[in-house]
Amino acid sequence: MIREMAIPTIGTDFAGIRWISDRPDEEELSFRSPDGKTQFLRCEKPIPYKDEFLFAAGIDGLSPATQYEVSARDAEAGGMNRTFRTLPAPPGKRLFRFGILADSHCAFRDKPGSPRLFWHSLALTEKYLGRLADLGAEFAVLPGDLTDNGTPDEVEAVRKIVAASPIPCQVLIGNHEFQPELFLKAFGLGKGWQSSDHHGFHFVRLRTFTPDELHADSEQFRWLTADLAANRDSPTFLFSHFSLHRHETLVYDPDCAVDNVEEIQAAIRGWPQVHAAFAGHKNMPTLSVVDGVAHVLSPQVVHYECGFDTIDVYEDGFIRIIYEIDELDLIRRSEKAHESPQDIAYRYGLEEGRNFYFSFRRQSRENG
Ligand SMILES: [Fe+2]
């Protein structure tokens, strides 16, 4: 019978569904549209994992902002079903898509018992940069912790992967880059903070090797103030490894954010062109809106729920969609390394913080 079901990926017209059964066959799911039409989802080659079988299927051709129902066809499943709602079709034109591949923690050795998939980290990083290219991302942002230990060998290995990526990569430093100068030099990051423009949007990449590097009296903060003043007319996205917001749902992870959140958020209130701040470090998919700014956390491929995300930028907002890796057995292995269901739910994140549309018009600031 079907034991578990999740709908990790939801777009405006498609969804990705995975489920787990104790049998390899006849495990169809029925998929029902609001007009009563039913079709069956079948996964031809479920992946065996210990005493269970892991299934995944995608469905497309859906309508935006519509509720669908997925239920187990097997009567033994006791009527297990889930409903989900596709994302709304945003107003205005879609301008471009970029990807985020967060915290890949590339390393050469596994750590016994760790839920992080170190042994697969390099291969997953390479593969899913390629997947982002296949999905039409024009570039990828890698918001820190590209390496697990920051050794010269790890830095060189991931530098080669980034150099060979089919799409350009925008790299940030994270707290696991334990030899920060080596890392910054390898990726040509100067002092660790940079900005660039893409289709009229301004992208600012900050240095948060430690959570105290964005204080108002720092050189970086002075640079940031000048950079944003010079780009006042460009809609802007900020990127950092540590979040610029202490997300209320991450109560167990107080080290999620920079140590001067209030100071940074007071400054952001004076920069109405800033629409979103993206971060890694704690990779529970999350959205919090503060003063009309979306604070977004991205998942990571090497640790449950083993995902990455795309951002579709529209004239009036953006859509964030989370994709999981194909390797369902690796997702399950990482998941099983967590002891409690609470840990697993916590890492998966809340549905509303995973796949969503964020409108720039939600800004409440006077001149926003
Ligand atoms: Fe980190």
What is the DSSP code (8-state) at residue 154? Answer: H
**Mean pLDDT of the chain, nearest integer:** 93
Instruction: For the chain, list the domains and their CATH numbers.
Output: 2-85 (2.60.40.380), 94-362 (3.60.21.10)
Closest CA to 201 of 139, 243, 283: 139
Taking 70 as the threshold, does the pLDDT of residue 136 lie above it?
Answer: yes
Q: Measure 256 CA to ligand 1 centroid, in angstroms.
A: 8
Q: Measure 292 CA to ligand 1 centroid, in angstroms.
A: 26
Q: Measure 26 CA to ligand 1 centroid, in angstroms.
A: 42
- Can you state the angle between helices 152-163 and 121-134, rounded to 10 degrees? 20
Q: Measure 349 CA to ligand 1 centroid, in angstroms.
A: 18
Q: Measure 147 CA to ligand 1 centroid, in angstroms.
A: 10
Q: Measure 17 CA to ligand 1 centroid, in angstroms.
A: 29
Closest CA to 71 of 80, 61, 59: 80
Going across the sheet that includes 356-359, the strands are 169-172, 140-143, 94-100, 307-314, 317-324, 356-359
Amino acid at 250: L
Confidence at residue 77, expressed as pLDDT on a 0 to 100 scale: 57
Per-position DSSP letters for 244-288, written without gaps between them = SS--TT-TT-GGGB-TTHHHHHHHHTT-TTEEEEEE-SS-S-EEE
Confidence at residue 44, expressed as pLDDT on a 0 to 100 scale: 79
Taking 90 as the threshold, does the pLDDT of residue 159 lie above it?
Answer: yes
Rounded mean pLDDT of 191-208? Answer: 98
Confidence at residue 341, expressed as pLDDT on a 0 to 100 scale: 84
Closest CA to 315 of 90, 21, 22: 90
Q: Measure 252 CA to ligand 1 centroid, in angstroms.
A: 15
pLDDT digits (tens, 9 = 90+) for 163-182: 999 999 999 999 999 999 99
**Sheet strands (E) in 325-362:** 356-359
pTM of the full predicted structure?
A: 0.96
pLDDT digits (tens, 9 = 90+) for 341-363: 888 888 999 999 999 999 998 65
Q: Measure 222 CA to ligand 1 centroid, in angstroms.
A: 24
**Separation of CA 281 from chain center:** 11
Q: Measure 103 CA to ligand 1 centroid, in angstroms.
A: 7
Q: Measure 8 CA to ligand 1 centroid, in angstroms.
A: 23
Q: Measure 368 CA to ligand 1 centroid, in angstroms.
A: 32
In order of 12, 123, 249, 311, 346, the CA distances from 172 in angstroms are 30, 20, 25, 17, 25
Rounded mean pLDDT of 173-197? Answer: 98
Measure the N-to-C terminal CA separation of the chain; round to a whole number of Å.
52
Q: Measure 273 CA to ligand 1 centroid, in angstroms.
A: 27
Distance in angstroms (rounded) separating the CA atoms of residues 9 and 113: 28
Structure tokens at 30: 């029925």
Q: Are 360 and 319 in contact (CB under 8 A)?
A: no
Per-position DSSP letters for 174-228, written without gaps between them = -TT-SSHHHHHHHTT-TTS-EEEEETTEEEEE---SSTTTT-TTSHHHHHHHHHH
Q: Measure 96 CA to ligand 1 centroid, in angstroms.
A: 28
Distance in angstroms (rounded) separating the CA atoms of residues 31 and 110: 39
Taking 90 as the threshold, does the pLDDT of residue 26 lie above it?
Answer: no
Q: Measure 337 CA to ligand 1 centroid, in angstroms.
A: 19
What element of type H or E holds 299? none
